[in-house]
Amino acid sequence: MKVNFNRAALAEALGLLTSVVPSRTPKPILRCVQITAGEKDVRICATDLDVGINYLVSEVTVDKPGEVIVPADRLAAIVRESVDEVLLLQAEDGACKIQGADSHFTIYGHEPGQYPVVPGFEGKADIEIGLQDLQAGIEQCLFATAKESTRYALNGILWEIKDKRLLLVATDGRRLARTRVNLAAAPDEQAAAVKIIVPAKTMALLDKIGSSDKDIVAVKLGDNRILISCANVVISSNLVEGNFPQYEDIIPTDYDKKLTLSTEVVLSAVRRSALLTSEESRGIRLSIGKKTLVFSCRAPETGDAQIEMPVDYKGEPIEIGFNPQFFIDVLRVIQTAEFELELGQTDRPGLIKSGKDFLYVLMPINLG
């Protein structure tokens, strides 16, 4: 194999590919990427056997087709630190040579033909979505997935098609985020019945793909796997097994205490009121009256804080406690200047709505 790469294009590809390469694995070959040069382009693959990326690099000049399997971290570091616009990669007998204007590296890898198959995308898509629309939806849900949970269904995002729109739902048991995403084309009957759980890691990869407003994501489903294609990238992934919670039962529909609040102002107030929280006193209190909303915290070992803001509120006064970080997380992803806060009793969750498509359910905490 002998290929001249545009260094920037190769660095961008490796930046995405290395995010699925496992740092520890009993199979050393999984810490590598597979580089396969065709007549006009180069395909680079990476996988941890659960998630795979098949990346087509077209900004190349192929002098000699071939294949090489090399450690991903070593190659990525060399490409990242290089100052050349063009890098020459040559591979022979399991070794890869990388040349710049003033540099020469040799990396030893594995014999060609040993790397696991990372599927490409063939045939008709089951679902099509605008990439920017999907990425916006991911950003509004991904933060609410469970980071570590024995209930594996909470480690992913639910995909459900309703009224020809894609619903994305995530929860870690203490909060829930739900958003709607427009589909680029109406799905067929089989796709319209889809209800799957996509791993958080896979969704995070989608969010890293560089996007333009014309990019369309094509999705194929089957055999407990999902194939996602966009531009020059194909992501393949196992789906999460298990039953997602009946999320509709969690969303309150009978609340009578409602406020419309400024996203930016409340974000600042929550951040400031949480400055004196501690491990023992991690909550903030919201005290809502006719004309004021007060954010406060009291920690016996550090002190207390109080932030006051005017509001237009006509309901009964209420005090309720929340985890400030969970509040901050949602305020960061709200894409509107204002949001609605709805409350019931002090022991029932808070409901945050932004526009017609996004809502967030936040469990209260007992401040004693």
Alpha-carbon distance of 161 to 180, in angstroms, equals: 9
Q: What local confidence, expressed as pLDDT, does residue 220 receive?
A: 93
CATH code linked to domain 251-362: 3.10.150.10
Alpha-carbon distance of 135 to 356, in angstroms, equals: 18
Q: What local confidence, expressed as pLDDT, does residue 210 receive?
A: 78
The CATH homologous superfamily for domain 2-108 is DNA Polymerase III, subunit A, domain 2 (3.10.150.10)
The lowest-confidence range among 174-183, 184-193, 252-261, 355-364 is 184-193
List 98's β-bridge partners, or say none.
89, 105
The pLDDT of residue 194 is above 90: no
The pLDDT-based confidence of 150 (bands split at 50, 70, 90) is low
Q: What local confidence, expressed as pLDDT, does residue 182 receive?
A: 94
The pLDDT of residue 211 is above 90: no
Q: What local confidence, expressed as pLDDT, does residue 302 receive?
A: 82
The pLDDT of residue 149 is above 80: no
289 CA to centre of own chain: 38
The pLDDT of residue 338 is above 70: yes
Alpha-carbon distance of 196 to 237, in angstroms, equals: 12
Segments of the chain assigned to CATH 3.10.150.10: 2-108, 127-247, 251-362
Decide yes or no: CATH 3.40.50.880 for domain 127-247.
no
Residues, the chain = 368
Q: What local confidence, expressed as pLDDT, does residue 214 receive?
A: 83
- 81-90: pLDDT as tens digits: 999 999 999 9
Average pLDDT of 284-303? 92
Write down the pTM of the prediction: 0.91
